[in-house]
Structure 1
Amino acid sequence: MYELTLVNSIALLLAGVAAGFINTVAGGGSMLTLPALMLLGMPADIANATNRVGVMFQSITGLTGFHRQNKLDTGSMVSIVVPTLIGAAVGAGLAAWLPAEVLKPVLLGSMMIMALVMVIRPSTMRPSGDHVRSVSSHPQSVLMLFLAGVYGGFVQAGVGFMLLAALAGGLRYDLVRANALKILCTGAFTLVALGIFIWNDLVLWVPGLILAFGCSLGAHFSVKFAVSASQKTLGWILFTMVVLVCGAAWLS
């Protein structure tokens, strides 16, 4: 069973702040929070479920901030969110019913594969600067968003990279607006996944809410940074996170 001391709580809070900032401006923050939860003594399935509490609160904070800055493309929200929601239900169902001894290697293996793909093909993360495409005019993006939902519902860690590949690389959004829509998708399928995990009694609420407070704080400051930063700066942060996620996955 997990142990939650004052030191562990502070460490979890700080991991949440860092993850909330990273996830909002790039992705890969769950590479910090999942190990932090596992270090408390949680099995992989419990840590995976509890992590979604922080992601949910972080998504709400980030989405509110981007909307206030007029960086959220509200007209495309439904067509972008629906494929990810369907995928998330599939992925979360798999995660909820797989035993922990099966989930742990799958979890770490998924992280590794995702990180390697992003390092080997960084061009998938760079918007071309062309006019934004609609989902209906670029049907390949539906499959990409669905697969991102499956992955996010199953693992969460690194899903931001897949969403940015679809939104920035596929639909040609700039990185700020792509991040806003990424947060929308993340929040939507996290809500689905969290509901399934709660139904299966896999969420530990005290560490989850500590993590949520940290994630929300990090997301708040991240939105302010993302709106004011240049595309080049955001691109380098994104590339750096891909490299760090890759390294963390190998060390895992």
Structure 2
Amino acid sequence: MTPLELLLVALAGVGAGFINTVAGSGTLITFPTLVALGVPPVVANVSNNVGLIPGSVAGAVGWRRELVGQRRRVLRLATASAVGAFLGAVLLLALPSSAFDLIVPGLIVVGLVLVAAGPAINRRVAKAHESPEDRPDAWWAWPATMGAGVYGGYFGAAQGIILVGFLGVALAEGVHRLNALKNVLSALVNSVAALVFVTVAHVDWVVAALIGGGSVAGAVLGATLGRRLSPALLRGVILLVGGTALVVFLVRS
């Protein structure tokens, strides 16, 4: 790659780190950039996954205050993310790239609907309890998180949208605390998938390093600005990014 192309990859990493921290779908910036620069799609996907790990971790650390009181939930759902990520990474290496093309747009639509309807649904469910804290996590939070992990290990674009959408209905939490939980689970998904890829797939380490450095800078910026966004505005950002992801997938298909 030329110096200009390397700079473009690093800048794409910054954008992806920022968007992943405040919403999700940062892969929609980095993956098309890599493919446009001539990186083979599978290598681009694998290298992008590895490169986004530092930014994912930085984003999770940046939102650590919102994780207070969620330790048991994080540990429980982390197992679901780890199992799903492993299965998704194996599927990427074993199945043709067209395998998920039909269901990816559907998953994004479901996630967007849940993000938009989550507050109203939570208000209705909460009426059955004296306070929001009385409401237990939905039983299906674990399998839904595993399903998002499978998707994240396979490709990853909009996995944050899907996670926030499902968990926004399954858990009695505000959008900021859901976003913090999403960042931890997404970081775990990327890490587990990366372990599989590093072992059996080709990684472009120059690309991964550039995306990694850029994503950390973007994640720090996203954690700073994202916390200042009102829940309604943050939800709007998530819907905007998710809608863009849906359009990209429909055009791509």
Q: Work out whether the TM-score is over 0.5.
A: yes
Matching residue's letter, 1:13: A
* Residue pair 1:27, 1:238 contacting (<8 A) in 2 also: yes
Q: How far apart are 1:161 and its partner, in Å?
A: 1.2
Q: How far apart are 1:112 and its partner, in Å?
A: 3.0
Alignment partner of 1:58 out of 48, 55, 58: 55
Number of the residue aligned with 2:166: 166
Q: How far apart are 1:126 and its partner, in Å?
A: 4.4
Distance of 2:118 and 2:52 partners within structure 1: 22
Q: How far apart are 1:216 and its partner, in Å?
A: 0.9
Number of the residue aligned with 1:223: 223
Q: How far apart are 1:123 and its partner, in Å?
A: 3.3
Distance of 2:135 and 2:220 partners within structure 1: 29
Contiguous gaps of at least 5 residues in structure 1: none
Q: SS state of the match for residue 66, structure 2?
A: coil
Matching residue's letter, 2:108: A
Alignment partner of 2:66 out of 63, 71, 74: 71
C-alpha distance 84-234 of structure 1, shift in aligned 2 (>3 A): same
Q: SS state of the match for residue 71, structure 1?
A: helix
Q: SS state of the match for residue 228, structure 1?
A: coil
Q: How far apart are 1:202 and its partner, in Å?
A: 2.0
The aligned runs of 1:2-41 (5 Å cut-off) are 4-41=1-38
* Residue pair 1:119, 1:246 contacting (<8 A) in 2 also: no
Q: How far apart are 1:243 and its partner, in Å?
A: 1.5
Distance of 2:100 and 2:134 partners within structure 1: 33
* Residue pair 1:118, 1:161 contacting (<8 A) in 2 also: yes
The alignment's TM-score, normalised by the length of structure 2, stands at: 0.87
Matching residue's letter, 1:237: V
Number of the residue aligned with 1:123: 116
C-alpha distance 55-75 of structure 1, shift in aligned 2 (>3 A): same
C-alpha distance 107-7 of structure 1, shift in aligned 2 (>3 A): farther
Number of the residue aligned with 2:85: 88
Larger deviation, residues 87-96 vs 164-173: 164-173
Residues 107-140 of structure 1 show CA distances to partners (whole Å, capped at 9, x for unaligned) of 65554333333456653554736525787x4211
Matching residue's letter, 1:143: P
Query: Are 1:187 and 2:180 counterparts?
Result: no
Distance of 1:144 and 1:42 partners within structure 2: 32
Percent identity (aligned): 26
Alignment partner of 2:107 out of 90, 114, 130: 114
Number of the residue aligned with 1:140: 140
C-alpha distance 216-125 of structure 1, shift in aligned 2 (>3 A): farther
Q: How far apart are 1:43 and its partner, in Å?
A: 2.0
Distance of 2:32 and 2:103 partners within structure 1: 14
C-alpha distance 45-77 of structure 1, shift in aligned 2 (>3 A): same
C-alpha distance 134-142 of structure 1, shift in aligned 2 (>3 A): farther
Matching residue's letter, 1:85: A
Number of the residue aligned with 1:204: 204
* Residue pair 1:76, 1:134 contacting (<8 A) in 2 also: no
Contiguous gaps of at least 5 residues in structure 2: 127-131
* Residue-pair matches, total: 242
Distance of 1:45 and 1:81 partners within structure 2: 26
Number of the residue aligned with 2:157: 157
* Residue pair 2:111, 2:165 contacting (<8 A) in 1 also: no
The alignment's TM-score, normalised by the length of structure 1, stands at: 0.88
Q: How far apart are 1:141 and its partner, in Å?
A: 0.9
C-alpha distance 48-133 of structure 1, shift in aligned 2 (>3 A): farther
Matching residue's letter, 1:38: V
